[in-house]
Amino acid sequence: MFRKLTGLVTMVCLIPFSFADDHSNTWRGVDLNQQFGIQFEICKLKPGQSIEDIAKLDKEVSRLFAKNAPDLSIMRLTPMYSHGMPGDSGASYIDITMGAIEAFGTGWDQWMASKPAQKLMANSNEIADCTFKFARAVNRVANKTELDASDNRLISMNWCSKRDNVGWNQLKAKHDAWQAAYEDDASSMAWNVVLPRLGTRSVNGRFMHMVSYANATQLMANENWVANQGGGQALADYYSAYASCDGESVWNASYLYRSKG
């Protein structure tokens, strides 16, 4: 599905998604039939600091997550194909935390009460300036076997807004049609729709698509479809008629801690 569909994931809407009544559809303690929490810690390195400097704290991050937020998972993203341009480099790295929404409440309470965790945050602040954003995520596709096979992956992100003359039901119908057409042609591991919630200012009508690839081969299979197999025209038609999107950025991602759930 995703070799042809990832270029068109921008057609998903924010209205509630329907899932099968499968109470066993969980992954790492998260019920994939429900919206789950996803937190973005967006960081810019301070002058004279490097990604290697922040990496020196990773073992302590893993240890303290295991102690204070064991039901959450955290991964580090560094730019591969970013929106940063010369003179405007954007984020140096992003730490993404994922888990059940309730687990964020417990995790944050225990984290804030932990002196070692507070020391870790102070040490991190010496290296980078970071801001936290909390969102909800809706799972659309999850190949659990591939997701568990490696701690490393590539993640694409694309922010979109629907056209004013298009209703959410129209977008959902368009999305459902593509998913049905290509559901047996999956070349990516996961697809989540991210709905901004806390710390995001005015983002009415905005949503983001996150697609996870096992490797560059999967990523470039989709790019080849866009370039040589009709995907470019399909995207152009969609962007002109259904949604305005910022364009995909792609990040290298590695887990610092995985929930044992």
Q: For residue range 204-235, what is the model confidence (pLDDT) as tens digits?
A: 667 888 899 999 999 999 889 889 988 888 88
Please report which confidence band the pLDDT of residue 112 belongs to, taking 50, 70 and 90 as the band edges.
Answer: very high
What is the Cα–Cα distance from 108 to 97, expressed in whole angstroms? 11
Cβ within 8 Å of residue 45, ≥6 positions away = 51, 53, 54, 92, 93, 127, 128
pLDDT score of 75: 95
Least confident of 17-21, 80-84, 130-134, 156-160: 17-21
| pLDDT at residue 109 tops 90 | yes
Average pLDDT over residues 127-141: 89
**Could you count the other beta carbons within 10 Å of the beta carbon of residue 233?**
9
Q: What are phi and psi of 79, to 5 degrees?
A: -65, 140
Cα distance between residue 61 and residue 45, in whole Å: 18
- Distance, in Å, from the CA atom of 188 to the CA atom of 179, rounded to the nearest integer, reads 13
| pLDDT, averaged across the chain | 83
pLDDT of 128 reads 96
* Cα–Cα distance, 147 to 124 (Å, whole number): 28
Contact yes or no for 245/160 (Cβ under 8 A): yes
The pLDDT value given to residue 74: 95
* DSSP 8-class letter at 88: B
Q: How many angstroms separate the CA atoms of 48 and 168, rounded?
A: 47
Q: What is the pLDDT of residue 251?
A: 95
Binned at pLDDT 50, 70 and 90, residue 5 comes out as very low
Ranking 66-70, 114-118, 119-123, 201-205 by mean pLDDT, the lowest is 201-205
> Do the Cβ atoms of 87 and 160 come closer than 8 Å?
no
- Per-residue pLDDT for 16 more than 70? no
pLDDT of residue 202: 60
Residue type, 95: D
First to last CA, the chain: 28
Topology of the domain comprising 2-257? Alpha-Beta Plaits (3.30.70)
| pLDDT at 200 exceeding the cut of 90 | no
What CA–CA distance (Å, rounded) separates 43 from 52? 14
> Could you state, in order of their start, the residue ranges of all structural domains in the chain?
2-257
Contacts of 114 (CB under 8 A, 6+ apart): 64, 67, 68
Question: Three-state DSSP class for 148?
Answer: helix
Tell me which of 56-70, 168-182, 239-253 is least confident: 168-182
12, pLDDT greater than 70? no
Look at residue 33 and tell me whether its pLDDT is greater than 50.
yes
